[in-house]
Amino acid sequence: MSVPDSNPQWGASYRLAASEKWRAKSAVMGGDVTRTLVEYARPKPGMKVLDLASGTGEPAISLAPLLAPGGHVTALDSSAELLEIAEQRARQRGLSNFSTHQADANSLPFPDRSFDLITCRFGVMFLEERALREAHRVLKPGARACFAAWGPFEQPYWSTMMGIVHKHVGGPLLPGGQNPFKYSHPGSLSAALREAGFEAEEETRNVLWTWPGTPEEVWEQAQAVTAPFLPMLQRVPREEWERINGEVLSAIRQYVEGGSVKFGALVVLAAGTKGGDPA
């Protein structure tokens, strides 16, 4: 059990294959975060919604049924391959008010005041600050942009795996510009939203984060899909992997209950409201 050799295709074909392999169980693990964000966003029938950095389609797919009748959700991502998966999932669910759009969230291809709601689950950390200004631009007055971001690195899902690897190899935990914990410090995401022109609020919640399988599976999944940690993983000498794997699996087993790994997750929820009276 070790990461693939470094090659330029890792971030594309390999990661896409890994996402497909673990899609069902990853969806279960992230399901409570999705439900929490959807509830926090307060979608209503008839709304026109934009889901930023939607990837394989969440929370857009969960939002779509709540927007009927008359509403619509657009799942936006820079990856055409991931959006193809989102389209397949939407078709399987018979969703007629769901569409995808391949584009850069930092430069949205929509007119001003186009949407009643914006959502983004675990994507805002990888966007530039101008993406928040773009979100403000395309929202209608009085509308909200709602985000879920990772809380601190020091929590079970990360510390049992990437934390142990980092203890062994040292050096930078993450490369510059790819930081899943960019908004983990309390108040940092709401401050960024205010800088972009929003009225903002923020809270941190402890939600379920449960892998429906074995420690070996979740460790393999984490190595395969958490791309920002790849440079660190590739610094591990081959002769060290056996010892690291043993320590990681031992740490994960502390959270095993009834055939699942129950990590729990600290998640930042933030909402920005665009000023002005609704049209």
The correct answer on CATH 3.30.160.100 for the domain covering 10-273 is no
Q: What are the boundaries of each domain within the chain?
A: 10-273
Please report the DSSP string for 224-270 in residue order: HH-GGGHHHHTTS-GGGHHHHHHHHHHHHGGGEETTEEE--EEEEEE
Rounded to whole angstroms, how far apart are CA atoms 6 and 10? Answer: 7
- pLDDT per residue, tens digit, the chain (279 aa), is 444 343 333 344 545 666 677 888 998 999 999 999 999 999 999 999 999 999 889 999 999 999 999 999 999 999 998 899 999 999 999 999 999 999 999 999 999 999 999 999 999 999 999 999 999 999 999 999 999 999 999 999 999 999 999 999 999 999 776 899 999 999 999 999 999 999 999 999 999 999 999 999 999 999 988 888 989 999 999 999 999 999 999 999 999 999 999 999 999 999 999 997 665
Rounded to whole angstroms, how far apart are CA atoms 31 and 8? Answer: 31
